[in-house]
Amino acid sequence: MRRAYQASKLILPLLHGNYRRSSTLPPATDKRWAGIGKEISDFARSCDTGKQAFEECKTAREQLECVIQSVGYDMNVFTFGGLVTLGLFEAGGDVDFVGILDVEPELEECGVIVSRVSRELRRFGIKCRALSRARVPVVKADRVSRALPGSPLHTLSSEGIFQFSRQLEENECFSLEKRLTEKFSALDIEWNSSHQLATVRFSSTAALVYALTHLKSFGEVEIPLRVPVDPKHGPELFRFPFDFCLSSTGLRNSYVLRNALLEYPYSRHLLLAIKKWGRETGIVNPIDGFLASYALTIMLVHFLAKSDVISKVASSSTTVSPSMNAEYTPLMECASENDANQVGFLFAKFLEYYAEVFDYKESVVCTSNVNLSKAAMGWNRQENTTGHPPFFEFCIKDPFGLDNVARNLDAFSTAYVKEAHTHALKSITNNLNNPFSFDAFLQNALKPESASRSLTERGIHSDFLTPDQFEARHVLHKMEFSERKKSIEQFGRRTVRNSKNQKFATNVTNSVLGWIKSDE
């Protein structure tokens, strides 16, 4: 039974949690924390792109499922990751999809599937690439549409082009029009002069995607080209950057972490702020041997459980049944100054915990056993031993399974993570008497010096490529990763501005209607 949050009872556990250690932080009751808490709350709420954008993610899931099933895979597609754990589509984020088969395929088969799905998506007009040899094979797709999530669909978003392998006779055109109307919900069909290309308007974007993916031939006539009229005004699937994989572990973890975060109504506010800070400081940078943002989610849940703010994740939680579509859960405003106080204090306490309290050498970040040790997992390095993992420098246990989410961090990266928390903590404590600005905190964050290291310096080698070839390939991947990251961040900033403009327009409209009613 998950415990309900009671605001009046939160302060005590923060002072007397599972870890007891002298702290230099002012007590949780200090009113100076309220300003920090309010800034974090306001920032987090600005990250929510709104319910309409969230619903479009669900529509995009249905469209992706349609594309995948059209190439012969009888699988269901689920959303997971941030869409589930946060209960919203984060501005500047991407959407995570996972395909679930009756029997989860082996690694080699996963690589084949993601390659085939990637080819079909590219044929469909989506820019993407398959990482078929990754530890978890994945398709990474870029956003194509000009339209922002939550904005009205363009009139062209339900129109597609069908090009046939030969010219059609008049009777064939009539027969095809009948089929398109009756079975694919076509509303209007226009032919070019040679009757070899048709532009079709459908009743919905869902009908368009179904027709483009399933109408591959007409009798003996093949239809090699089937695409939206203009991908930049395409259906919902074209509006989001997304990843697609076939690992069910992430799906189950997402719901376990979501349930844990929902115990405390401001945990998601903290998570959004921590993730943003992590990206700014560089500790969220998996391609260079640092953490994925998912690791910060586990770190926060561990910290909140260790502080008795939420319950530890019970082993029975891993049996939760996931849903194909996540549930939209908007972020609430801080209900009182006391709540804002608690949020600000928890943010600083999180930084203090990973800067000064957590034992990186001996302990494991775990959501179910907050006192788990490396020795218990067999992840500790004994004296006078050499070798590679399972001797890990930093350990973050996956909630479902026995994987170490921080397995790619070496001693240098681990020290970087700890130092980043230390600098951030000092940035807050040194300015407690000044008005707090989260934007200024991010912009002026004291970052540990970190020279770019080669793969060889990080102890990473290839059995097939020379060191120079391996390094060159890595640099190319870094460039691709950086470009995608910049594109997503720009997309996020535009989405935030669009969301603010929509809210402003709604408020103005409501005010005008209120004045009209008052005059009447």
Angle at the Cα of 493 from the Cα atoms of 156 and 129, rounded to 5 degrees: 65
- Alpha carbon separation from 490 to 5, 78, 193 (Å, rounded): 36, 26, 42
Token pair recorded at residue 268: 């998601």
> For residue 419, how far is the Cα from the chain centroid?
26
Which of 472, 81, 399 minimizes the C-alpha distance to 242?
81
- For the segment(s) 155-234, the CATH number from 1.10.1370.10, 3.30.70.330, 1.20.1250.20, 3.30.70.270 is 3.30.70.330
- Look at residue 161 and give its three-state secondary structure: strand
Please report which helix (H) or strand (E) contains residue 79, including its range: strand 76-80
248-316+351-443: in CATH 1.10.1410.10: yes
Task: Taking each helix axis as running N to C, give the angle between helix 33-46 and helix 467-519, from 0 to 180 degrees, rounded to the nearest 10.
Answer: 90
Token pair recorded at residue 55: 């619903």
Angle at the Cα of 456 from the Cα atoms of 452 and 459, rounded to 5 degrees: 105
Report the predicted TM-score, pTM, of the whole model to 2 decimal places: 0.84
User: What distance in Å separates the CA atoms of residue 407 and residue 516, rounded to the nearest whole number?
Assistant: 62
User: What distance in Å separates the CA atoms of residue 301 and residue 258, rounded to the nearest whole number?
Assistant: 10
- What's the CATH fold of domain 51-146+239-244? Beta Polymerase; domain 2 (3.30.460)
- Look at residue 235 and give its three-state secondary structure: coil
Give domain limits for the chain: 51-146+239-244, 155-234, 248-316+351-443
Taking residue 493's Cβ as centre, other Cβ atoms within 10 Å add up to 11
Alpha helix (H) ranges present in 71-99? 82-85
Token pair recorded at residue 166: 């030969």
Which of 501, 86, 78, 500 minimizes the C-alpha distance to 276?
86
Q: How many CA atoms lie within 13 A of 320 on its CB side?
A: 23
10 Å CB burial of residue 319 (0-12, 13-18, 19+) is exposed
10 Å CB burial of residue 44 (0-12, 13-18, 19+) is buried
Angle at the Cα of 465 from the Cα atoms of 460 and 467, rounded to 5 degrees: 55
Instruction: Supply the pLDDT for residue 73.
Output: 94
Instruction: Supply the pLDDT for residue 322.
Output: 82
Phi-psi region of 444 (alpha: psi -120 to 50; beta: other; left: phi over 0): alpha
What burial letters (b/e) apply to 151-160, b meaning 16+ CB within 10 Å? bebbeebbbb
Q: For the residues of 422-488, what is the DSSP string, one character each? A: HHHHHHHHTTTTS---HHHHHHT--PPP-----TTTTT---SSS-HHHHHHHHHHHHHHHHHHHHHH
If you ran DSSP here, which 8-state letter would residue 288 be given? G
| Mean pLDDT, 10 residues at a time, the chain of 520 residues | 45 49 84 96 95 95 96 95 95 93 94 97 94 93 87 90 96 96 96 96 96 94 94 92 94 94 97 96 88 96 97 73 87 93 97 97 95 91 57 90 90 93 94 91 74 60 65 62 61 59 53 56
Angle at the Cα of 225 from the Cα atoms of 220 and 226, rounded to 5 degrees: 100
